[in-house]
Structure 1
Amino acid sequence: MNYYNYLFALEAKFQLISSFVEVDERNYQTFSTEISLIFLASCSEFEVVAKELCEIFEPGFKNGHPKANISDIADVILRHCPTIIDHVVDIQFFDKHYLPLQGWRRDNSPNWWSDYNSLKHNRSENYHLAHLENLLKALSALSIVNHYYIWKKFCPNNQIHSASLHLSRLPTYFRIRDVQYDGLRYNDDFDI
């Protein structure tokens, strides 16, 4: 499965949103149906890719934890990659920067994740939580787990900052600071 393609599709939807709602702190609490759709999809995809990353770290994780939640996921990922929470994601063209996983622990989910769960389980009461700031953080977090998944799957012996990913396409907006993206080159071993 090419998880980067899903991220690219979500980035394209984000691009459309950004042409109607300026990415500016004054608009961070702006919510809408379209933002909600992309936010829900981004968080869901974060969970999917994070579980795949857990499977790389601990083969059999998905079978052993068929109902794994964010705490179970945090337990595995943070045990194997404790510095994942320290990554800054730069949002290209908007001069915005996030540490979307900062403070993530087994007993402490990021705020955007808690808001996602509140929205998912009670949309009528929590519709306002599908706002621009949460979307930016969710997409930033998704870019991190996507990168870790590809890195661990295809470059397991390299350090993340030296692991150069040969992507057939580069992320347009959400890029991890200090990670080298070697894009637009075809690699016979994998084409992400």
Structure 2
Amino acid sequence: MIVKEPFIFPHWNYFLCLEDDVIRLSRWVEFSQRNLDCYSIEIARLLMSVSAEVDVVARLLCKNLNPASKADTIGKYQQEISASFPTIPKALASIPRHGIELYPWSEWVAARTPPKWWSATNKVKHHRESHFHQATLENLLDAMGGLLVLLTLYYRKEVHRLMPLSQLFIPKAFLINMGDNHVRFIDRA
């Protein structure tokens, strides 16, 4: 018997694990416009887990773009990632099954502006007693979309090898670095 060890994409595998939890959540909370403000302990747990992975992947992406990078905050990630991918605020992820389109990095059109879901995560994490209501379905879905976009950029040279594909989220249009800071949209839907 010959067993070939496949190349492992650890952050993609973690995304799929988080996505599985989000899919299970959809059995209890319908992903619809009416429920976007819904919040719960489970949504808070997932939001904090997803945002923590965004932090990890954003740091790795910055290191890939600039090996000397010392980026360690959302503001510094924004500076470095936006410099290489200036159209990231237009990056689109969708959840076709529920008719949802996400622009998770849209706040990055303004300098030093964190995404709404990132700010909500920090408020829920540090001031849960007064901001628990910000652990919403909308913030969770945007955070997942944000993670998907970062993973697409991080694995951009290997994106075609990410298997299995996401069951819920589709990066309809996302950014690919073409070298020399030339960026184009590519549609994978």
Q: TM-score, normalised by structure 2?
A: 0.83
SS of equivalent residue, structure 2 residue 51: helix
2:102 to 94, 98, 102: 98
Which structure 2 segments of 5+ residues have no match? 1-8, 174-185
Which amino acid is the alignment partner of residue 46 of structure 2?
A: I
After TM superposition, give the deviation of residue 107 of structure 1 in Å. Answer: 1.6
Which amino acid is the alignment partner of residue 118 of structure 1?
A: K
SS of equivalent residue, structure 1 residue 103: helix
What is the match of residue 189 of structure 1? none
Identical counterparts, % of pairs: 29
Q: How many residues align?
A: 168
What is the match of residue 77 of structure 1? 81
Q: Deviations over 1:147-188 (max 9, x none)?
A: 10000xx35xxxxxxxx6122210111111134559xxxxxx
2:144 to 126, 136, 139: 139
Contact kept in structure 1, 2:40 and 2:136, CA below 8 Å: yes
What is the match of residue 15 of structure 2? 7
What is the match of residue 57 of structure 2? 49
Indicate whether 1:33 and 2:41 are aligned.
Answer: yes
What is the match of residue 161 of structure 1? none
| Residues in 2 aligned to 1:92 and 1:147: alpha-carbon distance in whole angstroms | 18
Q: TM-score, normalised by structure 1?
A: 0.82
| Aligned-pair Cα RMSD in Å | 1.7
Contact kept in structure 2, 1:100 and 1:137, CA below 8 Å: yes
Superposition misfits of 4+ residues, deviation over 6 angstroms: none
| Residues in 1 aligned to 2:61 and 2:162: alpha-carbon distance in whole angstroms | 18
Which amino acid is the alignment partner of residue 114 of structure 1?
A: S
| Residues in 2 aligned to 1:109 and 1:94: alpha-carbon distance in whole angstroms | 26
2:112 to 107, 110, 127: 107
Contact kept in structure 2, 1:72 and 1:106, CA below 8 Å: no
| Residues in 2 aligned to 1:101 and 1:147: alpha-carbon distance in whole angstroms | 13
2:166 to 147, 158, 171: 171
